[in-house]
Chains A and B, each alone.
Chain A
């Protein structure tokens, strides 16, 4: 079955630096991968989707890479700010493959940006 691994420990980064989060997956070749942000006690908010034929995607200070050979995605936040502190979730389409069949989520990485 699908397995997604994210750094389960908190990641502490100094303000202004680039934060890099890792998502590794096994036993599956998804057509896309998504990243979400979740604040405490709230629902996740969609950030970026990257397809299997895309190597890199950018949105403002965010950049996502997708290496289907390594089965890995990297999520970068450049010029990080304390407001970027949150838990970031990696998600894949479920193994059933249908686009509307829901997502499989990693446990998330808790990012802390220190002033």
Chain B
């Protein structure tokens, strides 16, 4: 079964701690994305990667970091520098490879709560 997995589903963190959210896809997609969703808000782009070993900042990258060492994996680290980290985090992927008209496939999300 192809798809995107995110873990954990729920995550609790103490203030001042870094935490890493996992995202894995077996769709053989080139591009991967991280979005953040707050109640009553649209999804906002944090980081994206079009190819292995390369990634770009999205609209709200401050306080976050990513890596793309493998095509299948795009982990997101929420650092202590992120002022309001409590949110629903969504990972997505798309085929990319030169096509402009790509739908995105989303994972089930990770709900992060800072205590």
Q: Total interface residues on B, using CB and 8 Å?
A: 33
Nearest residue in B to A32 (C-beta to C-beta)? B101
Nearest residue in B to A103 (C-beta to C-beta)? B104
**Which secondary structure dominates chain B's binding surface?**
loop
User: By the criterion CB–CB under 8 Å, are B48 and A101 in contact?
Assistant: yes
Residue B17 at the chain A interface, CB threshold 8 Å: no
Residue A115 at the chain B interface, CB threshold 8 Å: no
Q: State A104–B111 Cα separation when bound (angstroms).
A: 21
Q: Which residues of A contact B59 (CB under 8 A)?
A: 104
Q: A46-B105, A100-B30, A100-B96 are in contact. Are A107 and B45 (CB under 8 A)?
A: no
Q: Which one of B41, B100, B104 lies within 8 Å of A46 (CB-CB)?
A: B104
Residue A31 at the chain B interface, CB threshold 8 Å: yes
Residue A44 at the chain B interface, CB threshold 8 Å: yes
Nearest residue in A to B47 (C-beta to C-beta)? A102
Q: Which residues of B contact A108 (CB under 8 A)?
A: 42
Q: State A101–B96 Cα separation when bound (angstroms).
A: 9
Q: Total interface residues on A, using CB and 8 Å?
A: 28
Q: How many A-B residue pairs have CB under 8 A?
A: 73
CB-based closest 8 A-B pairs: A99-B100, A43-B106, A105-B42, A100-B96, A46-B103, A100-B31, A105-B43, A102-B45
Q: Which residues of B contact A105 (CB under 8 A)?
A: 35, 42-44
CB under 8 Å from chain A, chain B span 63-115: 90, 92, 94, 96, 98-109, 111
User: By the criterion CB–CB under 8 Å, are A94 and B45 in contact?
Assistant: yes
Residue B40 at the chain A interface, CB threshold 8 Å: yes
Q: Which residues of B contact A103 (CB under 8 A)?
A: 43, 45, 104
CB under 8 Å from chain A, chain B span 25-74: 30-31, 33, 35, 40-45, 48, 50, 56, 58-59
Q: State A64–B30 Cα separation when bound (angstroms).
A: 28
User: By the criterion CB–CB under 8 Å, are B109 and A42 in contact?
Assistant: yes
User: By the criterion CB–CB under 8 Å, are B103 and A49 in contact?
Assistant: yes
Q: Which residues of B contact A4 (CB under 8 A)?
A: 42
Q: State A89–B111 Cα separation when bound (angstroms).
A: 19
Q: Which residues of A contact B105 (CB under 8 A)?
A: 46
